[in-house]
Amino acid sequence: MQRKKRTPRDDAARRRRRSAVRVDRVRVASFQRRLLAWYARHGRDLPWRRTRDPYAILVSEIMLQQTQVRRVLEYYPRFLARYPTVADLAVASTPAVRESWHGIGYYRRAANLRRAAQHIAERHGGRFPADVAALRQLPGVGRYTAGAVASFAFGQDAPILDTNAARVLARVFGPGRRRGRTARLWALAEATLPAGRAYEFNQAIMDLGALICRARKPTCPVCPVRRTCRAFERAAARQR
Ligand code: SF4
């Protein structure tokens, strides 16, 4: 019998099946509740969390892509003082933007930021797009950054997956197979997002990864989600 030729649609369906995640609703609800309660008391107070301005949030997200929080804290207010709005950045010259970015490194990020500002001015009449699909059309904006701007500036239920969030989700819900891991983690980020709470939840999961569930030496005994964490369960079983 002749084999049916695979179409791009078949491949997309296979990828979706591979990345599908089954989550225990009770575990997810407990994880959400504990994480949000912890964040309310211990979340970091950062300047880009004191605004809902999508432009200011995009600037912080682009700076944070390859630079530590400590250094961004120094350069972020300076850059915003020089270019307070997306319109100011859109008309800035390349040498001026390069000079403002001096010291942060990876200048390509600044060039993309300026091109994104121009894109917003030209294609959106200077108004920031609010949905993930339109945000992803901006130069230098990938799925994570689009989700961050959509949830932090516009309060949309958009998941995010940075290295901190990915580590927390993999440890709490199980790493799964290596193949298709990123797609499954994105599916998990989506499945665990509490409706209407994306702003706090996304900040909370990143803070947990940065402060407690660190790559090396996570401080599990004080972790607020340890009772729902597979990695913690496995480590406890090994010690019995
Ligand atoms: S219990 Fe440990 S491994 Fe699990 S999320 Fe918390 S810090 Fe990470």
pLDDT for the residue 14:
55
Are residue 55 and residue 145 in the same domain, yes or no? yes
Q: Render the burial of 185-202: b for 16+ CB within 10 Å, e for the rest.
A: bbbbbebbbbeeebbbbb
Question: 65 and 32, same structural domain?
Answer: no
Residue ranges in the chain whose pLDDT is less than 50 = 1, 16-18
The pLDDT, as a whole number, for residue 20 is 61
Instruction: Supply the CATH number for residue 209's domain.
Output: 1.10.1670.10
Give pLDDT, residue 12. Answer: 53
Q: Whose CA is nearest to atom 2 of ligand 1?
A: 220
Q: 225: which DSSP letter?
A: T
Model pLDDT, residue 177: 72
Of 31, 232, 234, best ligand 1 pocket probe by most atoms within 8 Å of the beta carbon? 232
232 lines ligand 1 (CB under 6 A): yes
Which structural domain range is residue 142 located in? Answer: 47-154
Q: What total number of domains does the chain contain? A: 2
Give pLDDT, residue 168: 98
Say whether both 195 and 143 belong to one domain: no
The pLDDT assigned to 178 comes to: 74
The whole-model pTM stands at: 0.89
Task: Look at residues 115, 136, 154 and tell me which one is the last residue of a structural domain.
Answer: 154
Note the pLDDT of residue 240.
Answer: 82
Residue 104 and residue 145 in one domain? yes
Q: Are residues 127 and 197 in the same domain?
A: no
